[in-house]
Amino acid sequence: MKIWGRANSINVMKVLWCADECGIAYDRENVGLQYGGNDQKWYLDMNPNGVVPTIDDGGQVIWESNSAVRYLAAKYAAGTLWPNDPGQRSEADRWMDWQLSTISECMRVMFWGLIRTPADKRDMAAIKKAAAEGGKLWARLDQKLEGRKYVGGQHFTMGDIPVGCFVHRWFALDVERPDLRNLKAWYERLKARPAYAKHIMIPLS
């Protein structure tokens, strides 16, 4: 399998982590930001949005990171990452959608503001506002994690992957955070997974 995208992209991290959990061999090529290439015809022919990641699995081209995670889980980890029971699968699915629709924006403001913006140009009011919003949103997941080991229940599934990428940034960024016991316990469980340590727990950049 071929993966296009830079390793410090949170959306590429999702696919790299998932691929390792599935035991898939792959080659990765740097694309995007300082590496460029994602605005070139050869890349846009695969991915019309011109963003990362894009994967090619034996001629099956997939873009959009959560779609790629679902594909890999369904093909290579059915019954584990991809729950066979539709109800259990919906538990994983909804948190993947929550990552896209709910938690991403405030996390983007914090990450770009603190990591990719020079200190003298940071909008600290916007960053603090985003952190306050993030605390409220992560508290929703903290509540759902009561009595659960993972977002979808007692077993690690594809649902943990997109949200798990963002929760590392939440704990790594220099922001004020509420004490969310269940969220922290889940994060500690993720940190014990070798693929998480390899692909997600890298310096923020």
Where do the structural domains in the chain lie, given as residue ranges? 2-76, 86-197
Q: Do domains 2-76 and 86-197 have the same CATH topology?
A: no
Q: What percent of the chain has pLDDT over 90?
A: 100
Residue 47 CA to residue 50 CA, distance in Å, equals 6
Which CATH class, in words, describes the domain spanning 86-197?
mainly alpha
* pLDDT computed for residue 112 by the predictor: 98
- Bridge partners of 187? none
Residue 98 CA to residue 137 CA, distance in Å, equals 10
> 51 near 31, Cβ under 8 Å?
no
End-to-end CA distance of the chain: 26
What are the backbone dihedrals phi and psi of residue 96, each rounded to the nearest 5 degrees, phi first? -65, -40
In the chain, helix, strand, coil percent, each to 5? 55, 10, 35
Q: What is the pTM of this model?
A: 0.96
* pLDDT computed for residue 40 by the predictor: 98
* pLDDT computed for residue 52 by the predictor: 98
CATH architecture under which domain 2-76 falls: 3-Layer(aba) Sandwich (3.40)
* 42-59 mean pLDDT: 98
Q: Specify the pairing of strand 60-63 against strand 2-4.
A: unpaired
Task: Name the DSSP letter for residue 65.
Answer: H
* pLDDT computed for residue 31 by the predictor: 98
Residue 105 CA to residue 188 CA, distance in Å, equals 24
Position 5 confidence tier, pLDDT thresholds 50, 70, 90: very high
Task: Name the DSSP letter for residue 103.
Answer: I
* pLDDT computed for residue 69 by the predictor: 98
* pLDDT computed for residue 136 by the predictor: 98
> 125 near 189, Cβ under 8 Å?
no
Question: Angle at Cα 165 formed by Cα 204 and Cα 86, nearest 5°?
Answer: 170
* 136-145 mean pLDDT: 98
* pLDDT computed for residue 153 by the predictor: 96
Average pLDDT, the chain: 98
Torsion region of 26: left, alpha or beta (phi above 0 gives left; psi -120 to 50 gives alpha): beta
